[in-house]
Structure 1
Amino acid sequence: MKMKNLEKYRTGGTRGKMKLAIPVPRTPNSRAYRYSPNEAAEPRHFLIGNRVAEIEPTEAQLLRMKQPPGTKKTVCPYSGVIDDDDAFIHPEDIKAARATVEHAAVEDVRSAFREMFSDLGRKHKGITFKAGPSRSKPKPRFRRKDLMRELVCDHCGRDYGVYAISLFCPDCGAPNLALHFAREVELVSAQVDLAEALDNELEELAYRLLGNAHEDVLTAFEATLKVAYRHGVSQRHEDTAPVKPVGNDFQNVARGRKRYVFFGFDPFASLSASELKILELNIQKRHVIGHNLGVIDEKFADLAGNAKIGETVALVGEDIRAFAIVAQKVVAVIDEWLVSLMPPPLLASIPEEQAQVQEPSPAADTPMMVGDLGVLPSRVGLWFAKHDPNGLPGSLGDDTAFRAAFSDVPHRDLDDALAKLEADGYVTLYRMLGPELPRINLTSELFAEFDPVALGTDPAMDAVELIHKVLPANQSVSVEELHKETGWGLRRFNPAISYVLGYIGDGHISRGGSFDYPARSFAVTAEERVALRLFQQQVRS
């Protein structure tokens, strides 16, 4: 039996026992989910993307790395644990791979049965077989979301995403704590800029914005010191006595210093007397703002010198920036301290010829690719998605504009690109005698795959919204009325409703009499409601 769909994922083995490789779903910014094998490395979930920056590591940077960039191992950004890439496969990606293989296998079996019975009618006289309409179910789709904290490692150029704070680059393993805090300083500075740009009549709002910026400095500073300290504790020998809970020790310089002295290290030692005063004063100022509504108390008045009890503490943008810069200086020292907790320097443990980036960085003008299609098939598919007027599966029609858009591409290369799109189910081709390109029919799969990149809309996610509206219906659903309810344009609506119809049996769909939509109306059975709910769960996970 031919396994055309499964063959797309085959990387080895035999036809009877294939070795498959399933591409993992990607976020809108082309990052893949990863999950730390270290159960103690909460939150474990992170994202890893491509190398996006052209960086030639210096010798000093190589000394800070756990492994050469591009190594087939991943570093947990939260704990520094190193393991094979496969150990970091996300549980949701395992589910996605199983669903993808199941869909491909079912489609192969469906095609095989159809072909088998068609042959039966041809080979045996007196036996008539007429195949009914054959319609594939949509490929499973899996939503992947980017995280808010997105970074590019300043040692190897790896793009990645984490929750809040992490310690290491997941590619080269270099400490990235200072990189994180630099982003915090950047955001705080932007907040201060916003407050300072407000008119005088919005003074109260400006004060509130400055207060938030000031609080963010201390919050980020405390969290950073706490995360690094806990990592240091985790690196001790097992027989070392347990430490007391941290509490709010890092909201106080003296107590914070005492915590790190436990490791024989003082992160505040590099500060001058004036810088230390800035840090202590602003930490206390945060307590006044947060716990005393900004009213100066005796403790703050004693520390500040020129402050008067009962007055509102002043918040000046430059003071907040200075606070952030001093805090950043402390974090930079801790970032260097993290290197001392690592194994022997990378530079001393690998041959000189390997002490460089192993994976070439993509050029800034690298053409966009969708999935693993390749450059030209991706370009063709994106053109179809961008220029289709209504999102309906069917004939491309007049292909003059298409030919003109790809006049720079050799005929054979363009023909091969179309064949690749057909092999992956995005188009169907009707070939004729002669050198001309085949007639092209677009499928609903093309819109489902290419619209998120071409138009910024996601038919799978839109289908989830339509299903939410469809499931409560007790009678036939009018496609036109459903469209009106969404308020979407036809180009967005049709790929989404086509996705929904992929889960509805042909006998439950009325297709006649509608030129604007893929169907006029449809009804949903109990079995189909179950399938639609399962699809919702897959996409939302």
Structure 2
Amino acid sequence: MKMKSLKKYKVGGTGSKMQLAIPLPQTPDGRVYRYSPNEIAHPRHFVLGNREAGFVVEEHKRERMRQEPGTTKTVCPYSGVIGDDGDFTHPKDQEAAIKIVKHAAMQDVESALSDMLKGVAQKSRGGITFKPGARTRRPNPQFGRRDLMRLLICDCCGRDYGVFAIALYCPDCGAPNIALHFGREVELVLQQARIAEDLGEDRQELAYRLLGNAHEDVLTAFEAVQKVVYVHRVSKEESGVVPAKPVRNDFQNVERAQKRYAEFGFNPFCALSEDERELLDLNIQKRHVIGHNLGVVDAKFAENARDARLGETVELVGSEIREFARLCQLVISALDDWLGGLSFPIAPKAEGETGGGNEPETKEGTVGDLGSLASRIGRWLCEHSVTGMPDNIDEEGVLTAFSDMEEGELKEALAELEMESCVVLSHVIGTRLPRIQTAEELFLVFDPLVLKSSPITDALHLVDLVLAGDDSVSLSDLHDQSGMDQRRFNPAAGMIVAEIGEGRVSRTYSPDYPARYFTMASEDRVALKRLGKQLTG
């Protein structure tokens, strides 16, 4: 049987045992789907295009590359894992290839059967007459492929590719590309600023809102890129450094971010002068005023900003947003060089430092970077928690407990706690204070002081119990096994539940525990083992 349709894809073999090569379906702009073989490199999916025509590789950029561009190997943009091109075939493309082969084979079979019956019983003498109808071709299978939102061209090798959100490396040459990603975010921010500046005098309120969004977007992108880089660096086995607690919002604060990088003896903020560092700090504070106080200057910001007056609206101009973005770009470029294995700034030791603890000196009664009142409120919230789970707090209880303080001072202290992820605030018309909901971080910070026990240590104990048991876990039974009281058990149990895939955690409300039960898949056991390693660190 002739296999005309299948032979279009033949690249070797014999007529009866052909080797076929199926072209990959392309996106509207001519890119192909790729899928990282690294199972933990979420989201794994990316698209790959061609090299930019006429692109010339600059020699000084070759030291940033992990491999020569155009090889038969691909680099995972999310994790840096390198593998053969074939290892990166997307599951959807595998399915598409099977459908294409099946379609071509069916077309050949139908053609062969039609040829076999051709001329049979065309003239009948009282018997059966067969007259073949016109041949019809089955429509070729069509496969929808789409380009991703974040499309880039590597500035080292000129390769066109697309990823979800933020990736670390070029999938062709393997050069770090986070500065390229942040540069794209800055482009969008500057477009927002230009749109706001072009609005007339009659639309100044809208212009201010657009500038505020642009300013917030700078810090959002700055924080997100730092998180991705830090978590990637921690995940590398050779680093030997594991965070003692989740990153949370550490990268919204320069001092806390420097402590994180100091774990590796690295400080990307050394790229800034002292004046630039102060300006970066001020802009980060300004973002919190915009995001949490509708742009109204509070006492803390007024103290640090020379021209800001308490109660007035914080000033926003396009030039300041551009300068904020420029300073962030300097830090991100240092991180980009660090990923590429180039020389990087060393974290300087403070005068008289001999190594050891990284905790800052604090005034008596304060916790970490929190002020005195914020620390008092945090302790009070922790002491009055019955279950050790996130809960809504009665406004009158706070006002009564801290009746010696002005409402403005209480609001500012609550905002400090929110910045540390200890509470979640929502502003409601008609209330004297924002609506307060405690968060899991509150117990991580204050339980060691209030209960003299650490949720981190307790979570390590629970990890061992869970991994030693069945895949189906009842929180009530786990509580009994732990030997802890409920108030101490729940913050640690909440850390365990957070590692379990959402679809495997009971959605039935439980007033006593973070969940009634959960079931574990293999990936959940892996996640808990890694959590154990992190907490041990």
* TM-score, normalised via structure 2 length: 0.62
- The aligned residue for residue 279 of structure 1 is 280
2:169/2:178 contact within 8 Å kept: yes
Deviation readout 1:406-450 (Å, 9 max, x if unpaired):
xxxxxxxxxxxxxxxxxxxxxxxxxxxxxxxxxxxxxxxxxxxxx
2:43 is aligned with what amino acid? P
CA distance 1:83–1:124, change in 2 (3 Å): farther
Conservation of the 8 A alpha-carbon contact between 2:50 and 2:160: yes
What is residue 31 of structure 1 aligned with on the other side?
31
> What does residue 217 of structure 1 align with?
218
Task: Give the whole-Å Cα distance in 2 for the aligned partners of 1:91 and 1:290.
Answer: 42
What is the CA–CA distance in structure 1 between the aligned matches of 2:140 and 2:14, rounded to whole Å?
Answer: 25
Does the C-alpha gap of structure 1 residues 316 and 239 become closer, same or farther in structure 2, counting only changes over 3 Å?
closer
**Corresponding residue for 2:79?**
79
3-state SS of 1:63 partner: helix
Q: Aligned with 1:340: secondary structure?
A: coil
Describe the SS at the equivalent of 2:172. coil
Note the C-alpha offset of 1:58.
2.6
Distance in 2, Cα, partners of 1:133 & 1:53: 47
**Mapping of residues 46-61 of structure 1, within 5 Å:** 46-61=46-61
2:304 matched residue in structure 1: 303
Q: 1-side partners of 2:45 and 2:229: how far apart?
A: 18
Cα distance, 1:287 vs structure 2: 0.6
Distance 1:334 1:197 in 2: 34
List alignment gaps of at least 5 residues for structure 1: 343-541
Asked whether the equivalents of residues 74 and 170 of structure 1 are also in contact (C-alpha less than 8 Å), the reply is yes
Aligned to 1:377: none
1:62 to 1:113, Cα distance in 2 relative to 1, 3 A? same
The secondary structure found in structure 2 opposite 1:141 is: coil
Query: Which amino acid letter does the alignment assign opposite residue 213 of structure 2?
Result: N
Cα distance change, pair 14–55 in 1 and its aligned pair in 2 (3 A): same
* More displaced stretch, 200-209 vs 241-250: 241-250
Give the counterpart letter for 1:110 in structure 2. Answer: E
**What's 1:326 paired with?**
327
Q: In the alignment, which residue of structure 1 is the partner of 2:171?
A: 170
Partner of 1:293: 294
Aligned mates of 1:236, 1:332 — CA distance in 2: 24
User: Hey, what does 1:180 align to over in structure 2?
Assistant: 181
Unaligned runs of 5+ in 2: 344-537
Q: 1:108 to 1:152 in 2, by over 3 A?
A: same
Gap change, CA 1:296 and 1:53, over 3 Å in 2: farther
Q: In the alignment, does 2:169 pair up with 1:190?
A: no
Given that residues 55 and 155 in structure 1 are in contact (C-alpha distance below 8 angstroms), is that contact kept between their aligned partners in structure 2?
no
Give 1:236 shift.
Answer: 3.3
Indicate the SS of the match to 1:269: helix
Q: Which residue of 1 aligns with 2:133?
A: 132
CA contact (8 A) 2:295 2:314 kept: yes
One-letter amino acid of the counterpart of residue 142, structure 2: R
Matched AA of 1:115: D
Deviation by residue 1:334-355 (Cα, 9 ceiling, x = unmatched): 000001299xxxxxxxxxxxxx
The equivalent of 2:20 in structure 1 is 20
Please tell me the residue identity of whatever aligns with 2:218.
V
Q: In structure 2, what is the Cα distance between the partners aligned to 1:167 and 1:317?
A: 29
For 1:465-493, what per-residue CA distance to the aligned partner results, in whole angstroms no more than 9, with x for missing partners?
Answer: xxxxxxxxxxxxxxxxxxxxxxxxxxxxx
- Change in CA separation of 1:123 and 1:10 when aligned onto 2, cut-off 3 Å: farther
SS in 1 for 2:185: helix
Give me the whole-angstrom Cα distance separating, in 2, the residues matched to 1:281 and 1:179: 25
Match of 1:10?
10
Contact 2:122-2:131 at 8 Å conserved across structures: no
Q: What pairs with 1:351-390 in structure 2 (closer than 5 Å)?
A: none
Aligned pair count reads: 342
Can you list the C-alpha shifts for 1:211-238, whole angstroms capped at 9, x where unaligned? 1111110111000111111111111338
Contact 2:234–2:242 at 8 Å: present in 1 too?
no
Matched residue SS, 2:270: coil
Q: Is the 8 A contact 1:232 1:341 kept in 2?
A: no
Matched, 1:97 2:94: no
What letter is aligned with 2:248? G
Contact 1:53–1:158 (CA<8 Å) still a contact in 2?
Answer: no
**Is the alpha carbon distance of 1:124 and 1:328 closer, same or farther for their aligned partners in structure 2, counting shifts above 3 Å?**
farther
Aligned CA distance change for structure 1 residues 318 and 64 (closer, same or farther; 3 Å): same
Structure 1 residues 53 and 271: alpha-carbon distance in aligned structure 2, compared to 1, 3 A threshold? farther
- Name the residue aligned to 2:487: none
TM-score (norm 1): 0.61
TM-fit CA distance, 1:108: 0.8
Aligned-residue CA RMSD (Å)? 2.0
